[in-house]
Amino acid sequence: MSQTCAITSCNRLARALCHCCQKNVCIIHLNEHNDLLISQLYRLIDNVNILDNHLQTINIQKTVNDYREKLEQWRLESHKKIDEFFKEKCQELDQLVVDKLDEQREEIYQLQSKMTEFVHEQQVTHQEIYEFKLIIDHLEQEINNIEQKYVQIFTRPLILDHSLISIKGNNEEEYNLSILSPVYKIINRPDGSYGALASNNRHLLIHQAPNLCLVDENLEIAKRILWSHGRIYDICWSSTIDRFIILDEKYLFLVDEKTMLIEKVQTIEKRKWLSCTCSNEFLFLSTNEWGSSITKIVFTSEKKLDKQWQSPMICKKDEYIDIITSNKRKLAIIIRNNTNKTIRLELRSLETLDCIWLLLLNLPWNANRPFHCCPFVNEDWLVADYETGCLLHITKTGKIKSILPYNTVPYCVTMFGSNILVVSAKDGIHFHN
């Protein structure tokens, strides 16, 4: 028995089974279905052509240069280490020669004193003359030896460990916060410890009351020094001045990781500060007040801060900057709005502070405790939400990629090197691979 077309309102006889919709349709509707598929194919071809054109227009040199920035930073830091080692050995060499010369001067002085004594008494024996000659010959030999072959320097070629740098292509999808590895080490924090932390490629600086502590690459405390100043609000690292920068409510402190000396900086205005971050050229400080502002300070020379520049209005009078942090010429800012009870993450240009994007964060409101944020993999960002006890993975384009409930309350987060996530939590400092 003949069957009509399955398309509603079509009375034509069905002629074929459409494999697209699995219905018996007439020739006209079969052709329409085919035309629809062909049009979709054309659109896909157009999309592929757009991708191809995009690929053709990528500036290879600019892309490579952006990636080389990290290699260049490693090269500069490595050269700095070699220069410091060379300087140390030069000082060691200088001291060795100075000590030897002082020793010879002392021997000459003793000899001169003894000979003066004999001259004064106007009596000397042949044996004593002979002994004086022996001493003088010995001194002459020693002094000549200093100029010619006293110092022996043994060197070995510098052998590079090629595993120091690993270069591979990254698939953005492989970084999924939901499969964060378990905590593999915890450093305890006594009561009275502050949660702020910061790292470079060598050390992580933390506060373990009553001390500042440097944690090395083996996650062991390598150095410590008593912290006798105020509450630590934030810490950042400056590769330009080669110092950690600690921020309390009114002052900046520079910490030398080699000597652990703490130096108070006197060259900035006394305001109430809350957060700090560094680029190669600038130090950025945010104020601890409603209607917060950002001050940009130029590094003019080692350990010198000058030319303060206050940003145009970033916050309204009812808004407050919780944290500022930087990466790849961009500044991330978490801002709370007291009127709307909202929290947002903004990404801005480091040079101009122009807004690139902003993201409203659906987080519980709390007027007293600031949220924290740090650079993450692939130029993404990681937000620590202490209210719900979660970590938020934010993409570089301003989208929430994943939310991970954390096993304790996270206060601050940072990356230590390229593959260790550090979480300053209620019960200690947690390390994840």
* pLDDT tens-digit series, residues 362-401: 887 776 677 889 998 888 999 998 888 889 999 999 999 8
Residue 158 included in any domain: no
Q: Are residues 93 and 206 in the same domain?
A: no
* Residue 109 burial (10 A CB sphere; 0-12, 13-18, 19+): exposed
Q: Which two tokens stand for residue 230?
A: 């105020």
What residue type is 245 in one-letter code?
I
Say what the pLDDT of residue 323 is: 92
Q: Are residues 93 and 35 in the same domain?
A: no
Q: Are residues 98 and 31 in the same domain?
A: no
Please state, in angstroms and rounded to a whole number, the distance separating the CA atoms of residues 12 and 325: 68
Please state, in angstroms and rounded to a whole number, the distance separating the CA atoms of residues 193 and 202: 22
DSSP 181: P
Backbone angles phi, psi at 295, to 5 degrees: -105, 130
Please state, in angstroms and rounded to a whole number, the distance separating the CA atoms of residues 73 and 60: 20
Q: Please compute, for residue 361, the number of CA atoms within 13 A of its CA located in the half-sphere on the CB side.
A: 31
Q: Which two tokens stand for residue 322?
A: 């919780």
Q: Are residues 220 and 115 in the same domain?
A: no
How many structural domains comprise the chain? 3
User: Does residue 18 sit in helix, strand or coil?
Assistant: strand
Per residue in 397-422, pLDDT tens?
999 988 888 888 888 999 988 788 99
Residue 210 included in any domain: yes
Residue 64 included in any domain: no
Last residue of a domain, one of 119, 146, 169: 119
Q: Residue 239: give the domain boundaries.
A: 185-432
Say what the pLDDT of residue 146 is: 75
Contact assessment for residue 306 and residue 297, using Cβ atoms and an 8 Å cutoff: yes
Residue 164 included in any domain: no
Residue 71 included in any domain: no
Residue 207 included in any domain: yes
- The 3 state secondary structure assigned to 72-92 is HHHHHHHHHHHHHHHHHHHHH
Neighbours of 171 (CB within 10 A): 8
Q: Which two tokens stand for residue 216?
A: 């090395």
Say what the pLDDT of residue 237 is: 93
Last residue of a domain, one of 98, 119, 140: 119
* Low-confidence stretches of the chain (pLDDT beneath 70): 1-2, 168-175, 267-269, 300-312, 367-368
CATH code of 239's domain: 2.120.10.30
Q: Are residues 195 and 273 in the same domain?
A: yes
Contact assessment for residue 23 and residue 30, using Cβ atoms and an 8 Å cutoff: no
Q: Are residues 243 and 349 in the same domain?
A: yes
Using DSSP bridges, classify how beta strands 400-405 and 390-394 pair: parallel, antiparallel or unpaired: antiparallel
Say what the pLDDT of residue 303 is: 47
Cis peptide bond N-terminal to 210, omega within 30: yes
Contact assessment for residue 299 and residue 238, using Cβ atoms and an 8 Å cutoff: yes
Residue 295 included in any domain: yes
Contact assessment for residue 334 and residue 370, using Cβ atoms and an 8 Å cutoff: yes
Phi-psi region of 281 (alpha: psi -120 to 50; beta: other; left: phi over 0): alpha
Please state, in angstroms and rounded to a whole number, the distance separating the CA atoms of residues 413 and 204: 12
Contact assessment for residue 265 and residue 252, using Cβ atoms and an 8 Å cutoff: yes
Q: Are residues 102 and 239 in the same domain?
A: no
Does this model's pTM top 0.75? Answer: no
Q: Are residues 98 and 237 in the same domain?
A: no
How far is residue 274 from each of residues 229, 247, 255, 287, 293, measured CA to CA in Å? Answer: 15, 7, 18, 6, 11
Last residue of a domain, one of 69, 98, 119: 119
Say what the pLDDT of residue 305 is: 53
Contact assessment for residue 312 and residue 353, using Cβ atoms and an 8 Å cutoff: yes
What residue type is 79 in one-letter code?
H
Q: Are residues 93 and 214 in the same domain?
A: no
Query: In sequence order, which residues have a C-beta less than 8 Å from that of residue 72 and are 6 or more positions away?
Result: none
**Rg of the chain over all Cα atoms, to the nearest angstrom:** 35
∠ CA 244-247-249, nearest 5°, is: 170
Q: Are residues 99 and 198 in the same domain?
A: no
Q: Are residues 202 and 106 in the same domain?
A: no
Please state, in angstroms and rounded to a whole number, the distance separating the CA atoms of residues 250 and 272: 5
Please state, in angstroms and rounded to a whole number, the distance separating the CA atoms of residues 188 and 185: 10
Q: Are residues 211 and 312 in the same domain?
A: yes
Residue 169 included in any domain: no
Backbone angles phi, psi at 172, to 5 degrees: -55, -30
